[in-house]
Amino acid sequence: MCAAVLDEYCGSVFWNASYLNREDPDLPVCVEQTVLVWIPLGFLWLCAPWHLMPLCRRTQVGTKHLSKLYLCKQLVVSLLLLTAIAALAVTLGEDYGPDNDAPSTSKHPAVNYVNPVLYAVSWILLLLCQEGVRRRQGAVDSATLFLFWFLLILCDIFPFQTLLREALGKVRERTCNHHISTATFSQALDSSPCLSSMVMKGYKLPLVQEDMWELSEADSTAHINQCFQHFMQPELAAARRRLQNKMRKNPDKNRDKAQDVEKKKKKDKKEEEQNYPNSWLITTIYKTFKGVLIESAIFKLLQDLLAFVSPQLLKLMVSFTQDKSRHTWEGYLYAVLLFSVAILQSLFLQQYFQRCFVLGMKVRTAIMAAVYKKALLVSNDTRKESTVGETVNLMSADAQRFNDVTNFIHLLWSCPLQIILSIAFLWLELGPSVLAGLAVMVLMVPVNGLLATKARKIQIENMKYKDKRLKIINEILNGIKILKLYAWEPSFQTQVESIRGQELKVMKTFAYLTSVSTFIFSCAPALVSLATFAVFVGVSSENVLTAEKAFTSISLFNILRFPLAMLPMLIAAIVQTTVSRKRLEKFLGGDDLENDLVQHDPSFSMFTINIKPGRLVAVVGAVGSGKSSLISALLGEMHSSKGLINIQGSLAFVPQQAWIQNATLRDNILFGSLHEERRLQEVIQACALAPDLELLAAGDLTEIGEKGINLSGGQKQRVSLARAVYSQADIYLLDDPLSAVDSHVGKHLFDKVIGPNGLLRYKTRILVTHSVSFLPYVDEIVVLKDGVVSEVGTYKSLQTSRGAFSEVLNLYAGEQNNRSHSEEDTQPDSPLEDTISVTLKRESSLRRSQRNGRLVHSEMVSDRSELGLRVSKSPLLQKIIFTFFLLVKFSVYLQYLRAMGWGYSVMVFVVYFIQNIAFIGQNLWLSDWTNDAVDFQNMTYPTSKRDTRVGVFGALGVAQGLFVFLGTLLLANASVDASRIMHSELLNNILRVPMLFFDTTPIGRVVNRFAKDIFTIDEAIPQSFRSWIMCLLGVLGTLFVICLATPFFTIIIIPLALIYYFVQRFYIATSRQLRRLDSVSRSPIYSHFGETVSGLSVIRAYNHQERFLKHNEITIDENLKNVYPWIVSNRWLAIRLEFLGNLVVFFAALFAVVSRNSLNSGLVGLSISYALNVTQTLNWLVRMTSELETNIVAVERVSEYTKLENEAKWITDTRLPKNWPEEGRLQFEDYKVRYRPGLDLVLHGITCDIGSTEKIGIVGRTGAGKSSLTNSLFRIVEAAEGRILLDNIDISTIGLHDLRNNLTIIPQDPVLFSGTLRMNLDPFDKFTDEDLWRVLELSHLKDYVAGLQEKLEHEVTEGGENLSVGQRQLLCLARALLRKSRILILDEATAAVDLETDNLIQNTISKEFSHCTVLTIAHRLHSIMDNSRIMVLDAGKIVEFDTPSNLLEKKGHFYAMAKDAGITRENVTTL
């Protein structure tokens, strides 16, 4: 019925099957004029309303969007509109024109009128739609319009070829409107993604942050966080209610079960685990992102279903090549279908990945933002449960885990679906024999599981050794000065090497385990197909393996491999994420700070302490009496058990330990307030910061490192105070701000800022102080004792009352007198450091503050992420980074191969190559096997033949596995060798680098070489190297097989290879830089978070939570701007690569059709099933190349540190006399020294002669060159001119260790290393126990050590934390006593010990070292007044050198110093 209507409408037959059943098939014209016109136009009409909506809104649209592309599109559509009108006019003209004399029966059918009208309306619609797209905010292109054009072209192919046939003389009825297709081609090309421009840019130049696209509103942190919080609050509230209900029910249960103690213990543990609101995070994430989840699930489902279409098409293709009687066009149709299915699959898969990765990114962002927000509100009790590190971990590691799992969450249902479908299709092919193959696969799972658990145990052990090694390396680098002075490097080198040896042993075991699992994994496909095919042909002689069955099954098995490999990994990842989920739920569900604790109500008054506005109140008390707690309570940070705090006005807070942000000095002072230059300068002057700013090149715009690394303690405290003063609050809480500064600076600060005449004189100030000297000037004093207010009153009234206050006064007064004598030559609050470090640190901070990128080039490049500087601006730097990143030099790969050993490297390659040959051989054998089906078509299949087939097939499969196993083993050995060599070269060199290097290089950077880079060399490089070789050989093997089957294919290889090469070069350049930008922009997130957590009380006191939240959002957004293009760039690459892979499939199928007469069906099946697999392998190859290039940089970074210049040799051929130095006579002859070529001299020609056993004191102001003198003696710095003679031997001619072993120093900072006490005294085990006990007795430590459980084996923790500073100092004395050398240098470091211990040390030294030459660098003059002579240094020259009494008579430099210290001639007694 319907067909008849259409016949009349078209004026020809609508459908006739005979059209297809011939060599050149065609569609009837009627179908072309109806169905093929209606499909694209119908699609356009359906989608039009969506595009027309923006036209209805009244919005202003600027003409700036009228791009050339848009104008071209509109022009083309207008031309098409004209053709449609013209077609209608032609038809009308032919039917009703003046020259139309024929009878009216031969008029055109209705379709010739309807179609042009349809087209004309559609083109007008399209013009409007394109305008609508232009008006849409942020739209570039429209997918629906692209699909419309695509459909139009597809549907116009048939009319077009009809037109061609007509033109070529095969006359048919005229059809109109088919020249459209040519025009549409220009249109279809309009969809070029913006990423290509970024990829081009990234290829030509390194990308910088400014090149990244702005985020859309929906992807921004603020928006994601808002949505997440919206769903999180109700979920969390519900979880809290559940928890309360549970707690209400539980107490009775617990009482009943008290009998069974063990059970109860376990239960308690579980209770404790569950005593926070739980199981709400996952539902929140689901609710927040359910749209994207469902969308991606649909794409994944479509892709999974399409994956099973290819094997079916392959089956049809193989049967087509077997049956020579079928029309050729069928083959071409299958080839095109294979191509189309593959393309669709790629598109769906990439859409799915894009959504999943963006989803992962959003989940990570939501969690990071939530954790940050929580950290600002969290109560102190909850905060104390976890360290800053742990909290930062929540943000980095745990959020990242969620990100990783979300990427692949759909595999939870997709894997089982794929497995079920594969088995179903395989059952259809091979019947029950499939179960044999399946059984093998299922058996593999527990074996792999077993190996995985074993591997995890080994990994844990490995991490233990890694931590241990890094701990020692950290200590070595922190105490490198001491190691050099004592010549202890070899002992520590052996310690590290022994741990490294154990670590490598474990690594080897791990590598062997991996090779076993690789063996199993690579054998699996061969074994599975072997089991299946053997059972299939063995079950009955009827079953013959045909090419269709064999290769369809192999394609299906290939599909099966992926879900089976992924499921266990996914489950493991989910288990890990569960741990993260618990930690996050516990943290995010913790209690918030009680907001109502501090009230701001003017009607209240405080009853225990009432502080009136504008008063200065001092809070004093002994250590631990609760002074800081009082301040915390005022800030509302304490947990209140009862009582109220009422505060009127805004607060400013100066904490005891200054909190400094990683920002400019100005930003630290302004702290979010508006910048007023006059007020700023006033504050800087008052806080004594002006002299410091003069030293900094960039003044107050100097960038301050993390935790204020380039400021001294006193400077930090003053910046902290300046911040409070600038904030202009009403009430100031000052928690002992004067303790970190010197007395005269403290006085300045009190006068100019805090005191009755200071800047804050009209504000309310609460000052916690230990300094008695300021108390007379305060309005009121509050005395605390054991957490209770014991007295309140003015200075006078409290002094007379003889209470707790007067005790405090007497205690402090004594101390203060002592202290004032000792502070005679310290520079304003510089921590006592030797001048090298001071000069160099100062220099490096100056250099950093200029931010001009003049730092060593390669360092800069490899460590952007570690420098807290913003360096993307400098053009010079850009150039350097650019050249570096473009060429990971080939020599680096060679260097790694050399470290592995050439023999190993060649063998590995050869073995993998043979494995690949076995793989190809196995498949060729299979294709030959399937030809038996043709040879023995109507005969019984001989058993012997069958056994041979199965046997050889199996043998080749096992051979593959064995070769992979062998290759992996060889590679494991080789890479462990490489790791060993590279680490020991690095360590060896770092210990021999001059001290200068450590003074100018941040320790973190060196540690990073030992940590991250060595880790990469140990684990990442071997793995990516192996995958890379296997992928490369896999791709080459595939191409070889296809060429073998269809030699025509060789023509295509070269253009494909070229395209592939360029695509991956472009991609790798861009991807690597996006990764780099990602990691560079990620560290500020964590450092800002760490900073926030450590400065919480300050941020809350100033009420700046909102500002910090904002800042955090901006920082995360900056990172997202890099992650987002990285995700898109991966899709960009994948689409292009998969398209190449799909072309390989297409050409393999096409050539199989072309040469089908010369081919057997087995080879066709083989080449196409190979081609179907190539897409993934190509993808992997690029990933692996990119990964290998990224990882190999580690080799370069390590080798860079193995080539650093060394100090002089440790031991030279010059042998010394046996007991040298016997006399201990020192002579300096015109000795000059500078720290670095190009810097000024630090010592200007020192000449002096120090006799045997003389005791010399060395004094001078800071920077006079005192420490430089000792550094020269130990050759920490080498002479620029002149020489030092020790017992008439020039010290520059002997080995460093020969020299340093014969000198002894008791350093200023007592440095201890983690290890036993014995190791700290005698790392080389040279001395007996008696010797050790003797020196412990002399250094007054014997009783202490004897009282310890393990005595000499007592473990000292890192940096000697478990000993007091005084004990550490005494241990250093014991070291010196052990060495018994004739020359002793005291870098007088009794600052850290009490007076009693100081006396003990002095007595021991004068008694035990009476036969030695002793040089004392004095910080307190008292201690050297009994020395034989005193050397006064000034600006690197000796200005006075004589006995103390003579110097005092001279009234020169020394006299002035002595006078300052309160020393007169009366209290000098010469020896």
- Over residues 707-762, the pLDDT tens digits come to 666 677 778 888 899 999 998 888 888 888 877 676 677 888 888 888 888 888 88
At 266, the pLDDT band (50, 70, 90 cuts) reads very low
Q: Over 80: is that where the pLDDT of 1025 sits?
A: yes
> Cα separation of 153 and 151, whole Å?
5
Mind giving me the DSSP string for 1054-1079?
Answer: HHHHHHHHHHHHHHHHHHHHHHHHHH
- Sign of the alpha-carbon torsion through 152, 158, 164, 169: negative
Task: Kindly state the helix (H) or strand (E) to which residue 1458 belongs, with its residue range.
Answer: helix 1453-1460
Q: Each residue of 68-78: pLDDT tens digit?
A: 888 888 899 99
976 pLDDT exceeds 70? yes
Side-by-side strand order, sheet with 1279-1286: 1241-1250, 1226-1234, 1279-1286, 1289-1290
Task: Report residue 1355: phi and psi, to 5°.
Answer: -80, 125
The answer to whether the CB of 39 falls within 8 A of the CB of 155 is: yes
Tell me how far apart the alpha carbons of residues 930 and 1165 are, in angstroms, rounded to a whole number: 10
Strands (DSSP E) along 641-747, which ranges? Answer: 645-646, 651-654, 731-735
Q: Is residue 408 predicted with pLDDT exceeding 60?
A: yes
More confident residue, 1075 or 1225: 1225
- Does residue 323 have a pLDDT over 90? no
Sorting pLDDT into bands at 50, 70 and 90, what band is 1392? low
Position 186 scores a pLDDT of: 41
HEC sequence for 1106-1135: HHHHHHHHHHHHHHHHHHHHHHHHHHHHHH
Q: pLDDT band for 808, please (50, 70, 90 cuts).
A: low
pLDDT of 930 > 50? The answer is yes
pLDDT tens for each residue of 447-484: 877 887 888 888 888 888 888 888 888 888 888 888 88
Closest CA to 625 of 379, 808, 819, 810: 808
Per-residue pLDDT tens digits for 1136-1172: 888 888 888 888 888 888 877 777 777 777 888 777 7
What's the Cα-to-Cα distance from 1463 to each of 818, 941, 1448, 1452, rounded to whole Å? 13, 116, 10, 14
Across all residues in the chain, what is the average pLDDT? 78
Q: Which of 212-216, 955-959, 975-979 bottoms out in mean pLDDT, i.e. has the lowest?
A: 212-216
pLDDT of residue 865: 33
3-state secondary structure of 1030: helix
100 confidence band (pLDDT: 50, 70, 90): low
pLDDT at 956 over 70: yes
Residue 1304 has pLDDT above 50, yes or no: yes
Place of tokens 């090469």: 1061
CB–CB of 459/507 below 8 Å? no
- Quote the DSSP letter at residue 1003: H
What is the mean predicted confidence (pLDDT) over 85-101?
82
What pLDDT score does 283 carry?
A: 92
* 3-class secondary structure per residue, 798-845: HHHHCCHHHHHHHHHHHHHHHHHHHCCCCCCCCCCCCHHHHHHHHHHH
Q: What is the mean pLDDT of residues 580-589?
A: 87
Q: Is the pLDDT of residue 1216 over 70?
A: yes
Please check the confidence at residue 282 and state whether its pLDDT lies above 80. Answer: yes
Instruction: Collapse the DSSP code of 599 into the 3-class scheme (helix H, G, I; strand E, B; otherwise coil) and give the result.
Output: strand
End-to-end CA distance of the chain: 133
CA atoms of 187 and 720, how far apart (whole Å): 64
Whether the CB-CB separation of 654 and 734 falls below 8 Å is answered with yes
Element (H, E) at 1241: strand 1241-1250
Report whether pLDDT(977) > 80: yes
Pairing verdict, β 1355-1356 and 731-735: unpaired
Residue 100 is encoded by which pair of tokens? 């139309």
Tell me: pLDDT of 543 over 70: yes
Compute CA 268 distance to the chain's CA centroid, rounded to the nearest angstrom.
Answer: 38
CA distance 1118 to 1081: 7
Across 292-306, 385-399, 573-587, 790-804, least confident range: 385-399
The H or E element spanning position 309 is: helix 309-322
Average pLDDT over residues 382-403: 77
- pLDDT for the residue numbered 328: 83
Note the pLDDT of residue 599: 60
% of the chain with per-residue pLDDT over 70: 84
Q: How far, CA to CA in Å, does 605 sit from each of 214, 602, 648, 1129?
A: 53, 8, 10, 64
**pLDDT(1075) > 70:** yes
Cis amide bond preceding 525, omega within 30: no
Number of other residues whose CB lies within 10 A of the CB of residue 1275: 21
pLDDT confidence of residue 641: 63
3-state class (DSSP) for residue 925: helix
Is the pLDDT score of 336 beyond 50?
Answer: yes
Instruction: Determine the average pLDDT of the residues in 1279-1296.
Output: 86
In the chain, what are the helix, strand and coil shares in percent, each to the nearest 5? Answer: 70, 5, 25
Tokens 């020169």 locate to 1452
Query: What DSSP assignment string belongs to 1311-1370?
Result: ---SEEHHHHH-TT--S-HHHHHHHHHHTT-HHHHHTSSSGGGPEE-GGGTTS-HHHHHH
Highest mean pLDDT out of 535-544, 1013-1022, 1398-1407:
1013-1022
Contact present, 587 and 374 (Cβ < 8 Å): yes
Contact 972, 508 (CB under 8 A): yes
Which stretch of DSSP H or E encloses residue 184? Answer: helix 180-188
| Per-residue pLDDT, 301 | 93
Residue indicated by tokens 């991956």: 1064
Taking the mean position of all CA atoms in its chain, how far away is CA 487?
A: 37
What pLDDT score was predicted for residue 833? 37
> pLDDT at residue 82 above 90?
yes
Short-list 524, 408, 355, 350, CA closest to 1175 = 350
Name the burial class of residue 1448, with classes exposed (0-12), middle (13-18) and buried (19+) by CB atoms within 10 angstroms of its CB.
buried
**Residue 1387 exposure: Cα atoms within 13 Å on the Cβ side:** 23
- Identify the pLDDT of residue 230: 93
Rounded distance between C-alpha atoms, residue 30 and residue 28, angstroms: 5
Q: From 172, 177, 181, select the one nearest 12 (Cα to Cα).
A: 172
> pLDDT-derived band of residue 864, with 50, 70 and 90 as boundaries?
very low
CA distances from 237 to 247, 287, 585, 1344 (A): 15, 15, 12, 56
Residue owning tokens 């009228």: 66
> Is there a contact between 869 and 1456 (Cβ–Cβ < 8 Å)?
no
**Rounded Cα–Cα distance for residues 310 and 717 (Å):** 71
Average pLDDT over residues 1095-1102: 86
Who has greater pLDDT, 853 or 1391? 1391
Lowest mean pLDDT among 347-351, 682-686, 850-854: 850-854
Give 1448's pLDDT tier (boundaries 50, 70, 90).
Answer: confident
If pLDDT is split at 50, 70 and 90, which confidence band does 302 have?
A: very high
Average of pLDDT values for 584-594?
82
Instruction: Kindly report which listed range (182-186, 746-750, 958-962) carries the lowest average pLDDT score.
Output: 182-186
pLDDT category at 1399 given cuts 50, 70, 90 is confident
For 989, the token pair is 């060199």
Q: Once rounded to an integer, what is the mean pLDDT over residues 428-436? A: 84
pLDDT at 884 over 70: no
Sequence-ordered list of residues with C-beta below 8 angstroms from that of 1380, at least 6 positions apart, any chain: none
Tokens at 839, concatenated? 């000069």
